[in-house]
Amino acid sequence: MDAEPGRSAHTMRSKERPVNAPVRWLTGGGAVVVLTLAACGTPGSSSEDDAPARAGTEEITAPVTADEVAELGEVTLRVLADAGEESTLTELIPEYEELYPNVTVEVEYRSYDDIVRTEANTLSGGDPPDLAQGAQGYALDGALVEAGLIRPLDDLAEAYEWYDRYGESTLGEFRWSDDGTRFGTGSIYGISPVVSMVGVYYNTAKLDALGLELPQTFDDFEAALATARAAGEQPIMFGNALKSTGLHIFGVVQGQNADPAVTRDWISGTEGATFDTPENVATATTIQEWAQQGYFGEGYNGLAEDDAVARFAAGEGVFLIGGTWQLAAIQAGGGDFGFFPMPPGESGLHVASGSLGMGWHVSTESDVVPAAAAFIGLITSDEWAQKLADLGRVPVLAQQIDTAEPLFADAVAGSGTILADGGNTYSFDWATGSMMATMGGALQELMDGRVTPQEFVTPIQDDWAAFQAER
């Protein structure tokens, strides 16, 4: 039988699942980041206390064995994954199915935007996947927790020693109160084996031709931009059609002025936090000046991020401010490239938008939880850290890997420097369900010169304040 569109053809067998109760959608929320372990809670209303035990609630007390998975009989593990995971899962699934031969894995891939837009409906339907990748922040993960669609993973955290292997602070971005309204505290609802960190890619040949050394300070970086522009080069290759890339630019520039802890507080909804600060106005001023000086080239608000990366990989531009998830695309260009964290300014810290990758969640309706736990156990294992590195992805467990590829080694080292400085600030769009559109649109207006730096920060804080008022 042919596979459905967007779904890999491992199998098309389906399982009957109970339909969830109507979903109560998230309308507001926020939290102080408290990196302490809380008791595991069960999603859903307390009115269900007398109901029969739901699927997906069995506790995992130790790493799942092949014998335990075999006790499920012949089953299908259904997976919903981001399209960017396809190369990883193409390698992992055959290994998983060899380890657990009674399980057939079925994968459906969706774009990141489609996951954010459609996953809650998919998981609340009558035949949800067992495993699904989510997106940190209120727009998706908070809604999934509030609606009781994904189970806490505190038992897996204990069984697979995530606290020791990852570090408790690293897991904070997957912690939620059980009603999904408080971010950064409560139970763990997801996990990712990879790091997504924003930094600066550079074209080694162009830097050499311009007589430039790697910048050691933010002032050095700005001087390099001016030198490149004066020599007729495009200083920064940039595509901002989908708006998210502009947020990455803002994050690395903001880090030269602002305390990253203050930014994290604002993103996580700490009471009294504000975006309307002198540091953020100064950041907006710098970005607007870069645009006015031609550092981003022409037509960047109409250029897709992937197209900008492809142009950079083909030799256009001196620098590209982008994420570690773009390593493979840049390596594919065959040129000589490097990567460094944005050098520090007044803050003295290496700061950037950064987090773990999209988290893996287990559906509360899954009737194959041991198989799902085994899948997560495999992809987060020490052994798979090296395999992730071989696929061009930066694993959280970077101390476990060995690589001779210079660009990848740069990305691992740069990500480690940011994490060591406590400089990862999460992602601005986690702050509210509409922040990507609000901040992304405001950045386009800022860079086009249609608003002043002060006018730029106002609607962003208004969006945040309105969201917090609904809590």
Instruction: Quick: pLDDT tens for 283-322.
Output: 999 999 999 999 999 999 999 999 999 999 999 999 999 9
pLDDT beyond 60 at 118: yes
**C-alpha distance from residue 303 to each of 297, 311, 439, 447 (Å):** 11, 11, 18, 14
CATH says 195-354+408-469 is which class? alpha beta
Q: What is the CA radius of gyration of the chain?
A: 22
Q: Tell me, what's the pLDDT at 394?
A: 92
Q: Per DSSP, what are the bridge partners of residue 363?
A: 150
Q: Return d(Cα 266, Cα 249) in angstroms, integer.
A: 18
pLDDT beyond 60 at 40: no
pLDDT beyond 90 at 237: yes
Higher pLDDT, 354 or 49: 354
The CATH 3.40.190.10 portion of the chain extends over 46-194+357-400, 195-354+408-469
Q: Tell me, what's the pLDDT at 56?
A: 57
Higher pLDDT, 276 or 244: 276
Residue 55 banded pLDDT, cuts 50, 70, 90: low
Q: Return d(Cα 384, Cα 391) in angstroms, integer.
A: 10
Alpha helices in 17-133 (DSSP H): 66-70, 86-99, 112-123
Q: What is the mean pLDDT of residues 155-160?
A: 98
**Share above pLDDT 70 across residues of the chain, in percent, rounded to a whole number:** 88
Higher pLDDT, 335 or 234: 234
The 10s digit of each residue's pLDDT in 131-141 is 999 999 998 99
The whole-chain average pLDDT of the chain stands at 87
127 in Cβ contact with 17 (< 8 Å): yes
Q: What is the mean pLDDT of residues 336-360?
A: 93
Q: Tell me, what's the pLDDT at 112?
A: 86
Higher pLDDT, 3 or 455: 455
pLDDT beyond 90 at 420: no
Q: Tell me, what's the pLDDT at 57?
A: 63
Residue 449 banded pLDDT, cuts 50, 70, 90: very high
Task: Show Cβ contacts of residue 66 under 8 Å, excluding neighbours closer than 6 positions.
Answer: 99, 100
DSSP letters, 122-139, are HHTSSS--SEEE--SSII
Q: Tell me, what's the pLDDT at 130?
A: 99
Q: Quick one: which of 29, 355, 352, 323 has its CA closest to 171?
A: 355
- Coil, strand or helix: which one is 159? helix
Q: Return d(Cα 7, Cα 18) in angstroms, integer.
A: 22
Assigned CATH topology for domain 46-194+357-400: D-Maltodextrin-Binding Protein; domain 2 (3.40.190)
Q: What is the mean pLDDT of residues 205-226?
A: 98
Q: What is the mean pLDDT of residues 50-67?
A: 73
Q: What is the mean pLDDT of residues 137-146?
A: 93
